[in-house]
Amino acid sequence: MKIWLNKLECEVREGETLMATARRKGLSIPSLCSSEGAVHKASCMVCVVKNLSNGQIFPSCTTYPVEGMNIETESEEIRAIRKQSLELLLSDHRADCEAPCSLVCPKELEVEQMLNHYDSSQYREAYHLIAEAFSLPEIGCDTCKAPCEKACRRGTIDTAVTIRAIIKEVVGMFEPMPRNNENRHIKTDKNLFQSKLGRFTASEREQLKTTATTPSRCLHCACAGRGGCQLRLLATSAEIKRPRYATSSVRPAMIKQYVNGNMWFEQAKCIKCGLCVYNSRNGFTFKDRGFSMQVVLPEENAGHVDETTAELCPTGALYVVQGSRFKVSERSRIFRP
């Protein structure tokens, strides 16, 4: 069987979807709800293409070619539809890609990561991050107007994290030492799309007061799964600067559910693509229908989910952390940094 892809004649292999055929021919089609070798159903609409023969627009990940199709995979119209699909997905995604404190530091200190080391009693690692940003023993925080503390989300709950005092405390633990050049930290790429969490609800503020009890009091806003987030990368490539639509998700933000091992699930980041549902046996499942539909993990199913399922997640809602930094509240099953 033959079809046309972007005006080029193409032979189709048996059982191939339009997406598979296009990618085999070197054409790039983005997708969030499909992954090679995984069971999936079309939901994200980021992979749409157009049949020039009849004007139909449809998802390429689940559409199989028919003889004589004349498919267009790239045009201004298609890019606009894909961008709108991304913007709609972002409206259901409550998360900070990067911690606000890290984004505003004039010295580009990875503040949240430094506080993560501090809360894990990894003081030497925290020191090395500080040393990358400052010319120690000169710190410079005394003359700084502390935009990090002004941007701190903890300040919207009660009082901001005393970031400058913690920096001084960590530096004071050690004699000046050379920089750790073997494990240089990768700086935040501020050109990447930045998802914004938005304001906490009154109930979220009360919840976080009691559950966010790290030594620093940091909420650890930065997304732990941001390194492999396809939603962020596609939003960046689509030149989305900020979400077009107000966040419609009513799921509580920053609630981390323990799965098993070092695996965690944050429902507020889920775009309901279904990959974790279709590819875990007695694991994740759908709850409710329509706009209120959610992806949930019943507690008794958590042991059935393995890390290969986390690798399918396109947003960082399901992720694995090396040396898990989160503690479990066994009473409420609410998980705190």
The CATH number that applies at residue 12 is: 3.10.20.740
Domain of 9? 2-74
What is the pLDDT at residue 241?
86
Residue 65 lies inside a defined structural domain of this protein: yes
Residue 43 lies inside a defined structural domain of this protein: yes
Backbone angles phi, psi at 168, to 5 degrees: -65, -40
- CA–CA distances in Å: residue 83 to residues 228, 238, 243: 20, 6, 11
Q: Which residue ranges in the chain fall short of pLDDT 50?
A: 324-337
318, 95 Cβ separation under 8 angstroms: no
What is the pLDDT at residue 201?
87
Residue 187 lies inside a defined structural domain of this protein: no
Note the Cα 331 to chain centre separation in Å: 27
What is the pLDDT at residue 336?
36
What is the pLDDT at residue 248?
61
What is the pLDDT at residue 333?
34
Residue 190 lies inside a defined structural domain of this protein: no
Separation of alpha carbons 330 and 77, rounded Å: 50
Residue 118 lies inside a defined structural domain of this protein: no
Residue 45 lies inside a defined structural domain of this protein: yes
CB proximity list for 50: less than 8 A, separation 6 or greater? 56, 57, 71, 72, 75, 77, 78
Residue 35 lies inside a defined structural domain of this protein: yes
Q: Is the peptide bond before 243 cis (omega within 30 degrees of 0)?
A: no
Domain count, the chain: 1
Residue 27 lies inside a defined structural domain of this protein: yes
What is the pLDDT at residue 335?
38
